[in-house]
Chains A and B, each alone.
Chain A
Amino acid sequence: MPAGIITENLSFSYSPGRRVLKSVSLEIHPGEKFGIIGPSGSGKSTLLLHLNGILRGEEGSVSIGGITVNSKNLPDIRRLVGLVFQNPDDQLFNPTVEEDIAFGPLNFGLSPEDARSRVSEALAMMNLTGFEKLTPHHLSMGERKRVALATVLSMNPEVLAFDEPFSNLDPSMVMQLMEILRGMESTQVIVSQSVLPVIALCSRTAILKDGKIVAVDEPRTLVRSRDLMESCGLDMSLYRNYCRDL
């Protein structure tokens, strides 16, 4: 059973007086695919960084699978939560795909042999078998995105947190990634400005605006609340009009 996530009254600011997260409380159930949507600068990525303990709130708490995140249990938290960054170039920093994917498992104490078998498994899951010795920065954006996901899958995390997983992907790649995510049993938190994939993938979604949770509901219910969506900078009328034409 994968771990669930609870944030209670989580607040954070990068500089004094400018709160990016304001008393955020959320409960994400084990195994749930949970979306977080909102306009740019609403605090989505900042919230995601709290799940892995990269940032820690000034107030409130985050707990993963019943473990409250603090400075002493960061290795356990990072083993539980895999974070996939928006830009794969930020995630891939080793000279070969194999070393990048093995980086996490080796850091968590696996032997090189075990790390290698994790690399093979993760690459097979991403349909990238044979890419081991390639240089990550010579791959296409879609391939780099999949390698970035493989770097996290190799750690067998119970929670997967994605920052804008669908950005810079062509429609077929979006479909492919959605299928991969659908097939995984882990708890998934997907932060995205691409509302449509979130509707298709997530069972519940939160709207974040100015660092506050404005609504949590089934994505279709949220999207039907036109006033709410418009007031949060998530106007869907463009999609609606075009979809009608199509």
Chain B
Amino acid sequence: MKIVTAFTGIVVIVTEPLSADPAHFLLYLALVTAVVSVTRLPVTYLVRRLLLVSPFILMAALFYPLSVFISRKEFFAANQEAILTAGAAILMKSLLAVLLLVLLSSTERFHRLLMALRRLRVPAIITTVSALLYRYIFIIADEALKSSRARDSRTPGKLRTGRIGVIGNQVAVIFLRSWERSRIVYQSMLSRGFSGEFPDMVDMHLRTADIVFPLLFIALLIAVRLII
């Protein structure tokens, strides 16, 4: 239900016209903020995650007005306010979409999200590749940690010479080791009957609140979009 709610929310917000009243976006923001307060996620945690993607959001928001300004200066001068409003709308849409995705990924464990996606009939190849990627991220991180410890144990203070060369070699070694370990992990999966799809044993029962609150949230978003 969380996945359906988040993606419905994103669709409602993203399909808002660029010329929409800015008050709409403020109402969307208020609704999403209300959900944030219910989840009790620390604000600093959300801000940190938003900061990670902020360069992309800013780029998306700035590119539209900039491209009009560069290519059609007269048109820009005549419609300056509308174009800047459109830029602000892109900024708000991206921000709210990312915020909803951060909320989704932070309030549910990744493997449960994948199981839910499978039950929503998302192609198995996508969920399986995502599950493998998720697993292999930890293998790469583990290998990177070991490699860094080995380097640091033989590095008094800072690396003096050939820093880039050393890091380049290290990345290559991490890649090769991760490749090798991933291969063995896959063999281990095969040896236990893995045939391309992760089995599913988690019970997912919907309670009344699991249905009512998401539906209310979606209804309010649609009300802002269509009625207000």
Determine if B23 is an interface residue (Cβ-Cβ < 8 Å): no
Most chain B C-beta atoms within 10 Å of own C-beta, residue among A75, A82, A106: A106
**Dominant secondary structure at the A interface:** helix
Determine if B201 is an interface residue (Cβ-Cβ < 8 Å): yes
Most chain A C-beta atoms within 10 Å of own C-beta, residue among B111, B192, B198: B192
Decide if B181 touches A106 in the complex (CB within 8 Å).
no
Most chain A C-beta atoms within 10 Å of own C-beta, residue among B184, B187, B191: B191
Known: A75-B193, A78-B191. A102 touches B201 (CB 8 A): yes
Most chain B C-beta atoms within 10 Å of own C-beta, residue among A93, A99, A108, A116: A93
**With a CB–CB cut-off of 8 A, which chain B residues contact A91?**
185, 188
Decide if A112 touches B201 in the complex (CB within 8 Å).
yes
State the interface size on chain A (CB cutoff 8 A): 32
Known: A78-B191, A152-B192. A137 touches B138 (CB 8 A): yes
B166-201 interface (Cβ within 8 A of A): 181, 184-185, 187-195, 198-201
A106–B195 alpha-carbon span in the complex (Å) = 11
Decide if B193 touches A83 in the complex (CB within 8 Å).
no
Determine if B119 is an interface residue (Cβ-Cβ < 8 Å): no
**With a CB–CB cut-off of 8 A, which chain A residues contact B138?**
137
CB-nearest residue of chain A to B110: A95
Determine if A49 is an interface residue (Cβ-Cβ < 8 Å): yes
Decide if B187 touches A54 in the complex (CB within 8 Å).
yes
Partner of A94, one of B111, B181, B190: B111
B4-44 interface (Cβ within 8 A of A): none
**With a CB–CB cut-off of 8 A, which chain B residues contact A99?**
111, 201-202
Determine if B135 is an interface residue (Cβ-Cβ < 8 Å): yes
A222–B192 alpha-carbon span in the complex (Å) = 34
**With a CB–CB cut-off of 8 A, which chain B residues contact A115?**
199, 201
**With a CB–CB cut-off of 8 A, which chain B residues contact A102?**
199, 201
Decide if B201 touches A108 in the complex (CB within 8 Å).
no
CB-nearest residue of chain A to B139: A89
**With a CB–CB cut-off of 8 A, which chain B residues contact A89?**
142, 181
Partner of B192, one of A49, A116, A137, A155: A155
B131-182 interface (Cβ within 8 A of A): 135, 138, 142, 181
CB-nearest residue of chain B to A75: B193
**With a CB–CB cut-off of 8 A, which chain B residues contact A166?**
none
A230–B109 alpha-carbon span in the complex (Å) = 53
Binary contact readout A73-96 vs B (1 if CB under 8 angstroms, 0 otherwise): 001001101110101011101110
Partner of A104, one of B135, B192, B203: B192
Decide if A93 touches B135 in the complex (CB within 8 Å).
yes
A90-126 interface (Cβ within 8 A of B): 90-91, 93-95, 98-99, 102-104, 106-108, 112, 115-116
**With a CB–CB cut-off of 8 A, which chain B residues contact A103?**
189, 192, 194, 198-199
Decide if B111 touches A95 in the complex (CB within 8 Å).
yes
25 contacts between A and B (CB under 8 A): A52-B191, A54-B187, A54-B190, A54-B191, A78-B190, A78-B191, A82-B191, A82-B192, A83-B191, A85-B184, A85-B187, A85-B188, A89-B181, A90-B184, A90-B185, A93-B135, A99-B201, A102-B201, A103-B192, A103-B198, A106-B199, A106-B201, A115-B199, A116-B201, A155-B193
Top 10 closest pairs, chain A to chain B, by CB:
A106-B199, A107-B193, A104-B192, A83-B191, A112-B201, A90-B184, A91-B188, A52-B191, A93-B135, A54-B187
